[in-house]
């Protein structure tokens, strides 16, 4: 019984710590939407959740994208895949992509099943990355911020259903 009480207490503490972190990243963070699951081929990769002030997402205002990983991945592979997705959306400045790739490789950790990464678009238009309430790094180029988060949130995304779920867009059928 004491073990169960400890687990419940620990769970509520972890939830409170996570909520507290979101409160520190954006004002009054409310979930905008979440994905059912990102799957590549037949592997479950991550679940994603988008938070914004009062639940009102704007690409030009602060927001938080949380990725909860479901498998082990190398940070370098995550960075490389991010660049590939930016290219798919039509970004062609190879010099910037190389610079951004180097920055992402420096910032993005290897992840395991259960790792949660937070990507934050702050008031200055910078991208700030966290894992387990720990600051991983920042990329100050607002152009990076736009193109990075467009991977999930742009109408040019390679995963339009995920975008609809994150932005809570209802089909008009």
pLDDT of residue 171: 66
Domains of the chain from N-terminus onward: 2-166 (3.50.70.10)
Average pLDDT, the chain: 86
pLDDT attached to residue 27: 83
Residue position matching structure tokens 């040019």: 156
42: alpha, beta or left, given left = phi > 0 and alpha = psi -120 to 50? Answer: alpha
The pTM assigned to this predicted structure is 0.84
Q: Classify 88 as helix, strand or coil.
A: helix
């Amino acid at each position: 019984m004491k073990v169960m009480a400890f687990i419940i207490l620990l769970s509520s503490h972890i939830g409170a710590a996570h909520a507290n972190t979101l409160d520190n990243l954006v004002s009054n963070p409310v979930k905008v939407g979440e994905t059912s699951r990102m799957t590549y081929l037949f592997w479950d990769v991550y679940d994603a959740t988008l938070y914004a002030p009062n639940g009102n997402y704007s690409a030009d205002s602060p927001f938080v994208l949380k990725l909860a990983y479901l498998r082990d991945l190398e940070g370098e592979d995550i960075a490389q895949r991010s660049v590939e997705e930016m290219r798919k959306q039509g970004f062609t400045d190879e010099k910037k992509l190389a610079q951004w790739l180097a920055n992402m490789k420096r910032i993005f950790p290897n992840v395991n099943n259960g790792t949660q990464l937070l990507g934050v678009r702050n008031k200055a238009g910078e991208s700030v990355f966290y894992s387990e309430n720990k600051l991983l790094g920042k990329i100050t180029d607002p152009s990076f911020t736009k193109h990075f988060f467009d991977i999930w949130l742009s109408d040019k995304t390679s995963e339009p259903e995920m975008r609809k779920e994150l932005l809570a867009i209802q089909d008009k059928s």
